[in-house]
A and B are shown apart, each in its own frame.
Chain A
Amino acid sequence: MRKFIDFVLTSVKLALTGSRKYYAWLASLLIMVLFGAFSYYYQLKYGLIITDIRDQVSWGSYIANFTFLVGVAAAAVMIVLPAYLYNYKEFKHITVFGELMAVSALVMVLTFVLVDLGRIDRVLHLMPFTGTPNWPQSMLTWDVIVLNGYLFLNILIPGYLLYKTYLREPPRKWIKIFILISIPWAISIHTVTAFLYGGLAARPFWNTAVMAPRFLASAFTAGPAFMIIILQIIRRYTCIGQPGCKLVVSDRALFTLAHIALISMLVNLFFLGSEIYTVGYAATSHIAPLKYLFFGLEHDGVVYNKLQPYMWAAITMEIIAALLLLFPRTRKNFKTLNIACIFAFVGIWIEKGMGLVIPGFIPTPIGEIWEYYPTLMEIMITLSVWALGLLVYTLLLKIAIGILAEDVVHPSAKGREMPEHH
């Protein structure tokens, strides 16, 4: 217990000490969070009226980002799985970064759900004992379970391994069980999230079996793309790569991630294409949302097409990303690789965020076309949740790097060798 308290104190100290630049970064994130909190205060006070979400389009930017970020959280499995199941050495050093990415993504996911609720004061109604969860009927109840479970796993696993490293003790066997559980669990969080949409017969745009596979494919593109960028930043700004550092982020690890992103992106485009074909060729009335997304819909001489430019941009970015990742020459060149990763990330953020949520509501089940466009306050809240996630990620990374790479160690374990890397 004593040792655990020391661990927590050391972690807090690690997280809160750093260079000037580090503080400036934290402060700018904190300011963004405060801006959002300010807007959220108005939302609490006046209701969701401060957003542009309405009866016609009843979910907006919050749920769009929620959906996307569940994918980012799930994508941690793409590092965990090769590292633990296939014993892929290059990934052993970076698993912790993946798991912590999952934690930060989940913090954003849960915050987005909370800010979307009309009555946050009643959130406990979702939980057993304090509420009446509609289990197993409601997919949202399932989502609450799997998301919180995944958060728990992703705090427990890296937390425990860091703790053991801090004490320079080898981890116990039981943690393996949790690691193994975390693999299918990651798949489950995104599957259940896809099922939220896929199960709604009222919304033909979502009511398709390809939803869950498509979600997973796009997640396994965006997640690794994000990791490639983050790992380069970590490599640049920390001791990693310098002589004497205990952690390595190798080029090979990054290129393997790029490979994963490539394959997932191709699969994702294939699923998207299949969906477009099926709906487009049959050309039943269910084609309307897709038409809205890509070309806009016309009603009484007015064309509604606010989403159209974004969607085309997304598809273009995804295709460029796929091409850049496809050729070894551009994949193994960091300049083009980074462009590919940013394009893949942003492309999927649009395609699976707003590009998925909004057209599901257009036209409404009784044929009304009503366009949604987030308000300034809504955008501020959205950005601040992102800032919160980045803040959490920064702090967690700082701790992890301190313990794993900078030799921060418990006084009792001084001089002992680092145990075999998890």
Chain B
Amino acid sequence: MVDKGRRDFLKKAGIAAAAIPFANLRIPVIDVTLEEFFQKHYKEMSEEERKRVVERLERQHKEKYGVDVEIMTTPPRKGVVWGYALNIQKCIGCRRCVYACVRENNQSRANPKEPWRGEIQWIRVLEFEKFEAHPGKPSKKDFRTTFGEVIAGINLEESEHYYDPPLVPEKEKFYMPIQCQQCERPPCVKVCPTKATWKEPDGIIVVDYNWCIGCRFCIAACPYWARRFNWSDPYIRREEINPRMHYLGNRIRMRGVVEKCTFCIQRTRNGRYPACVEICPVGARKFGNLLDPESEVRRVIERKRVFRLKEELGTQPKFFYFID
């Protein structure tokens, strides 16, 4: 929703982007220029303003990281709602998707010199035991039998996402990657006090990194632990930067804001697959237009056994898990 009142206010106050005096003046410590300070919400910018903002951001990337980047603002395509399907039977837990995602989306890396600087990963692969039994003793007091307590199937509380065996897949384990489920009814959007995160017409939940105030309410509200916070400035080596960026996607973030998976908005809005789909060595990941009955993802949903995570919460994920 475009907030007209606000625009008029800004106009009257004479602080429309072009008119800011000392636009390049830097406020120390928090390290923002006046121009950044007065930047509008992405959805409220005119074409003109968007162009100027993008140019400035490209310039800033160059100054800060020394790379020439292109920041796109590709709009959503009509008649497209993106969906995802993941075959948990095939997934071998190799985490190639995790690292492909990190590279593609310019996520903060672990800094060898300052390990306290956060490493950020949007995808986490959960490892589950196929079967783990804690045999019980039959007793008069409780209802247990010698079968005891058994851990099997998808029990998130028994999952492990820091697993580190020499070789995957392990025989007695199975794997389920998790990332933003692009909820059709996203609680993260509902709770955001500033509308800094919202659902685009193609179904992707995005964040305006220049509008987010860093209150982290959305992190508390997400049932899938899909959101990450920039606890410090991100750390990326210059040669590892992916220069093809989208304003709402993989442009390099700043400290103090939230980020998350966008189904690789910079790729998918320009006719490519998400990086995780491309890299998966066993073809466990499928992606496509949910509105197109011929799309891969629709065919999976119609022909395979699918389920969604935590459906009881009413979030309506557009991320489907399936088995053959």
Contact = CB atoms under 8 A, between A and B. Distances in A.
Nearest to B6: A129
Contact of A47 (B32, B157, B230): B230
Contacts of B211: 122, 125, 132
B313 A118 contact: no
Most chain A CB within a 10 A radius of its CB, from B6, B37, B257:
B6
A138 B217 contact: yes
Chain B interface mostly helix, strand, loop or mixed? loop
B255 A201 contact: no
B165 interface: no
- Interface centre among A123, A125, A130, A141, by most B CB within 10 Å? A125
Nearest to B1: A132
Interface stretch (A54-62, A166-174, A208-216, A256-264): A54-62
A55 B229 contact: yes
Interface in A113-146: 113, 116-123, 125-126, 128-134, 137-141, 144
Nearest to B40: A132
A132 B224 contact: no
Interface string A175-192: 000000000000000000
Given A44-B29, A130-B6, A200 B194 contact: no
B256 A126 contact: no
A365 B194 contact: no
Contacts of A121: 27, 30, 32, 37
A58 B229 contact: yes
Contact of B159 (A122, A128, A200, A367): A367
- Interface size class on chain B is 35 or more
A237 interface: no
Contacts of B191: 137-140, 199-200
B9 interface: yes
A126 B213 CA distance: 8
B196 interface: yes
B209 to A, nearest CB: 10
Contacts of B124: 366
Contacts of B32: 121
Given A119-B257, A125-B213, A365-B224, A201 B194 contact: no
Nearest to B156: A367
B158 A367 contact: yes
Interface in A361-407: 361, 363-368
B256 A118 contact: yes
Contacts of A123: 213
A195 to B, nearest CB: 11
Contacts of A131: 6, 194
Contact of A118 (B126, B213, B314): B213
Interface in A4-34: none
Nearest to A139: B191
Contacts of A367: 126, 155-159
A144 B193 contact: yes
Nearest to B118: A49
Contact of B212 (A48, A119, A134, A199): A119
Contacts of B9: 129-130
Size class of the contact patch on chain A: 35 or more
A138 B156 contact: no
B224 to A, nearest CB: 6
B186 to A, nearest CB: 11
Contact of B157 (A140, A203, A285): A285
B157 A48 contact: no
Interface in B196-217: 196, 211-217
B231 interface: yes
Contact of A202 (B5, B157, B187, B212): B187
Contacts of A125: 41, 194, 196, 211, 213
B233 interface: yes
A123 B256 CA distance: 12
Nearest to B128: A367
A138 B213 contact: no
B221 A202 contact: yes
A355 interface: no
Contacts of B230: 47, 118
Contact of B232 (A49, A116, A139, A202): A49
11 contacts: A55-B219, A55-B228, A113-B215, A117-B256, A118-B213, A119-B214, A126-B213, A133-B194, A139-B191, A367-B157, A367-B158
Given A199-B191, A202-B313, A365-B222, 12 more contacts: A58-B219, A116-B216, A118-B255, A118-B257, A122-B194, A129-B9, A137-B190, A138-B190, A144-B193, A200-B220, A366-B178, A367-B157
Q: Top 5 A-B pairs ranked by shortest CB distance?
A: A118-B214, A118-B256, A202-B223, A140-B193, A47-B255
